Structure 1
Amino acid sequence: MMNRILPMAISFLFHAMVMAQSEGLTSSPYSLYGLGVINQTSIGKTNSMGYSGIGLKSTTDINNLNPSNYSLIPRHSFFYDIGVVGEFNSYSNRGDNESKTTLNFSNLAIAFRIADRLGAGVTLVPYSDVGYTLLGLVSNIEGSNETFESNVAGIGGLNDLNFNLGYGITEDLRVGGKASLLFGNIEESETFTISNSYFELNETTNYSGLRLGLGMQWDIFDKLTFGSTVQLPVKLKGNLTRSVYKTLDGSSITVEDEEGDNVSDFKLPLELGFGISTRIKGSLTLTADYKRNEWDTTHQSESIGSYRDQDIYAFGAEFQRNPKGFKYGQRIRYRVGFNYDNGYLAINDNKIDGYIITAGIGFPVGFATNSAVNLSYAYGSKGQVQNILVKENYHALTLNLSLEDLWFRRRVID
């Protein structure tokens, strides 16, 4: 079984990487800045628990929010999780309203046990998304009072390929590490027409870098777990490819290509995370996380904004009446959550903060495994109608197939 499943899973992961670089996963106007919109989305059930889970002790599925949790993968188990997400976004400012819909993958992941108290996994999630279109931008023609209109569009984003390893030092203390390969490209284009002349500029910026992280979970009591994570700062190397296409007075055509131009490194900050979870009467699980991202130390800025230290607060709850109940309804999991992000980008000294309300349900698949179909809904709001800022509201629906395969279990025949 392992020889069939593992190559298929790896092939699926790499196929998704290629697709992720060529498809827009967002339509947010705030993806215009930096690497685009940085994602908080997770894997499986934590999508509906406010994206919390640093301190969540889980033995039935993949928890990618803390690498130390991989040490809890049960013997003979092989987990894999595949997710897709659809978003409906609406935007408003002082003069206009607009809405868009996007659909794409949200994650791919595998996890397995290596030895006693030692587990590993590979996950692929979008790290950032770019997908914006600006139409009818008015600019002045240098040296005259005339103006022209241009259209600007961007698409792409970065992928985050994680290699995770978790080890249980004792029954109550677990540690883990991860190496994140960040890679992808951002394609931007600008077009305009003046009289009989047409101009088109296309730029593709490729980014890549390796980021390291650590995690820990400690069972303070039997049903109370504390967790922490750290992701080290890193500089993402950038490489720019530019092509220019011109038609002058409808007759002369010039094509210019410039490849390999260097662009400034993009700095990702030190990220610290702390979380706690508890189980109440065996049926209710509560989680709470706090994350701190030190953007100030990167000293980065945009043309009309700057990066500021970021605080994220996340809370979640899951209820399951009886995990081993014979009735199907007793094994269904119900989840809710809340997430508040005070933002990492400030435009005209106004930070772009936002909140997300989540809910979801987990439908068990079969009785002998931990397989489940997880359905998550999220409503989020970001920004504000003020000056040049845009108010963004969105609805997101995520479907995760969180499946468990069992290896090498001997059948008992009477």
Structure 2
Amino acid sequence: MIRQIIVICIAIFSLSAFSQQGTASPYSFYGIGSLKFKGTVENRSMGGISVYLDSIHINLRNPAAYVGKNIEAVPFDNESRPVKFAVAGTASSSTLKSNSGEAEANSSIFDYIAMSVPVGKFGFGFGLLPFTSVGYQLDDINDNDEISNRFRGEGGVNRVFAGFGYQITDKLSAGVDINYNFGNIQNSAIAFAYTPEGELVEFQTREDNRSDLSGLNLNFGLAYKTMISDRLELSATATYAPKSELSSENERSFSTIIVNTTTNFELPINTSEVDLEAQNLRNTKLTLPSRFSIGAGLGKPRSWFVGAEYTLQTTSDFSNPVFTNTVTRYENSSQISLGGFFIPRYDAFSGYFKRVVYRAGFNYSNTGLVIKDQPINEFGISFGLGLPVGNRGLFSNANIGVEYGQRGTTNENLIKENFINFNLSLSLNSRWFRQQKYN
């Protein structure tokens, strides 16, 4: 147990030092940033499905999974289910293409740290994860091949969650997460001015904005599992997160600056704060849309599984009264995910790779973001391995995942992203409530 905690702490400090920027996507310019929370590495390696629930992996998408009784007790000597720990991080590499050229971008982020504790018919979970991330620098080039505007942004929304699940029957469980969202988003815009001769004027104008965000939301979950034959098991899940609001405390200022075109260093000369109070924009509310997902799958316990999941989000309800523009609108978003896993032989005494979990999947989504009447869609395929580590009887593992995908379009001079995500997680199990036996 102590060794596992030490490993987790080392992983946290390593990931914290490594994850300086959560995204490099130009589409994080819109809304409250790019959605970073897409489930555990195990989920993402199977196309993003969260249908499969068991007693040895944390499932952060469905709080009904905290109970952890959806697997036979045989692997745990008919005794206590394990306490589960998980920590993860992601490194991303992207190629950004437009009609005028392309660029490379890299980012990394700490994904989550979480813990789940089963107690009788109850299960409890809590943890920390980034919900959205902002990180972009966009240059608007005019017909003279000159920068007319520069946009930059950073920040994002983090989430602390606590939840519990309850085993209603041997086949049905339910749960709820309470999420506290917090963070800030900072962005700036520079309008470049030129002389009639095409020379950059000495002074430029920069607008700076900052929003500090906070608020609660809920996520409800159901999970059903039953054997439909001697070898086949049916799984079905559903989750629902109602519409909620984030409180936003906003600041805005305008600065006169000098820009060094060689280093891009910006030297402020003077700054003027905007009275947002007079515009009723000092404190505002942001609407977070509701989210509903439903999924089902078939498999042979501890051998293989194939599942599908559909997610609908009322993104058209999103609103941000502080940052609006005429070229962007939101429509309801949806995603379809397919995936599964295969284990050659989970209890093999020889042959390490017989106990490895092999995962794969794909997904397609309409993100709900529409720019210049162009819907921003996303497609991805994923692969992963679950590598056994530690005590065989506890089924701990290190999970490695790779995702390749595309986002956006080059129509209307927009940007298409080709990205590769490398995911790594530790899923560690420990038994706290084991009953001691004496001869």
Gaps of 5+ in 1: 140-146
Corresponding residue to 2:396 among 354, 362, 371: 371
Deviations 1:138-170 (A, max 9, x none): 59xxxxxxx984432101111122212111011
State whether residues 288 and 316 of structure 1, in contact with CA within 8 Å, keep that contact through their aligned partners in structure 2: yes
State whether residues 283 and 322 of structure 1, in contact with CA within 8 Å, keep that contact through their aligned partners in structure 2: yes
Q: How does 1:287-302 map to 2 (within 5 A)?
A: 287-298=307-318, 302=325
1:142 maps to none
2:73 maps to none
RMSD (Å) for aligned C-alpha atoms: 3.3
Corresponding residue to 1:43 among 40, 44, 51: 40
Give 1:38's aligned amino acid: L
1:119 maps to 123
2:429 maps to 404
Judged with a 3 Å threshold, the aligned counterparts in structure 2 of structure 1 residues 138 and 372 are, in CA distance, closer, same or farther, namely same
How many residue pairs are counted as aligned between the two chains? 401
1:143 maps to none
Give 2:40's aligned amino acid: I
Q: How does 1:124-203 map to 2 (within 5 A)?
A: 124-135=128-139, 149-191=148-190, 195-203=201-209
Could you tell me how far apart the structure 1 residues matched to 2:156 and 2:295 are? 28
1:215 aligns with 2:239: no
C-alpha displacement at 1:86, in angstroms? 0.6
Deviations 1:366-387 (A, max 9, x none): 2121210000000010111111
C-alpha displacement at 1:127, in angstroms? 1.4
1:317 aligns with 2:340: yes
Give 1:370's aligned amino acid: F
Judged with a 3 Å threshold, the aligned counterparts in structure 2 of structure 1 residues 272 and 192 are, in CA distance, closer, same or farther, namely closer
1:270 aligns with 2:274: no
Bigger mean CA offset, 359-368 vs 281-290 = 281-290
Give 2:407's aligned amino acid: K
Judged with a 3 Å threshold, the aligned counterparts in structure 2 of structure 1 residues 405 and 368 are, in CA distance, closer, same or farther, namely same
For 2:282, what is the secondary structure of its paired residue? strand
State whether residues 55 and 81 of structure 2, in contact with CA within 8 Å, keep that contact through their aligned partners in structure 1: no
1:235 aligns with 2:245: yes
For 2:393, what is the secondary structure of its paired residue? coil
Instruction: Give aligned-pair identity as a percent.
Output: 25
Judged with a 3 Å threshold, the aligned counterparts in structure 2 of structure 1 residues 413 and 173 are, in CA distance, closer, same or farther, namely closer
Judged with a 3 Å threshold, the aligned counterparts in structure 2 of structure 1 residues 10 and 211 are, in CA distance, closer, same or farther, namely farther
State whether residues 125 and 162 of structure 2, in contact with CA within 8 Å, keep that contact through their aligned partners in structure 1: yes
State whether residues 80 and 402 of structure 1, in contact with CA within 8 Å, keep that contact through their aligned partners in structure 2: yes
Give 1:308's aligned amino acid: E
State whether residues 137 and 151 of structure 1, in contact with CA within 8 Å, keep that contact through their aligned partners in structure 2: no
Deviations 1:85-139 (A, max 9, x none): 11000111111111111122112111112x2121111132221111110235559
Deviations 1:256-311 (A, max 9, x none): 34588525422111211101122137511112111111223447774311110111
TM-score (norm: length of structure 2): 0.82
Could you tell me how far apart the structure 2 residues matched to 1:169 and 1:270 are? 25
Could you tell me how far apart the structure 1 residues matched to 2:377 and 2:150 are? 28
2:101 maps to 96
1:52 aligns with 2:13: no
2:361 maps to 337
State whether residues 57 and 277 of structure 1, in contact with CA within 8 Å, keep that contact through their aligned partners in structure 2: no
1:71 maps to 67
Judged with a 3 Å threshold, the aligned counterparts in structure 2 of structure 1 residues 357 and 193 are, in CA distance, closer, same or farther, namely closer
Corresponding residue to 2:271 among 255, 259, 284: 255
More strand by percentage: 1
Could you tell me how far apart the structure 1 residues matched to 2:275 and 2:85 are? 39
2:262 maps to none
State whether residues 9 and 110 of structure 1, in contact with CA within 8 Å, keep that contact through their aligned partners in structure 2: no
Judged with a 3 Å threshold, the aligned counterparts in structure 2 of structure 1 residues 351 and 330 are, in CA distance, closer, same or farther, namely same
Corresponding residue to 2:210 among 200, 204, 212: 204
Deviations 1:54-77 (A, max 9, x none): x31211110111100111168362
Give 1:206's aligned amino acid: D
C-alpha displacement at 1:220, in angstroms? 4.3
For 1:344, what is the secondary structure of its paired residue? strand
2:30 maps to 33
Give 2:357's aligned amino acid: R
Judged with a 3 Å threshold, the aligned counterparts in structure 2 of structure 1 residues 12 and 100 are, in CA distance, closer, same or farther, namely closer
Could you tell me how far apart the structure 2 residues matched to 1:174 and 1:355 are? 32
C-alpha displacement at 1:84, in angstroms? 1.2
Give 2:246's aligned amino acid: L
For 1:31, what is the secondary structure of its paired residue? helix
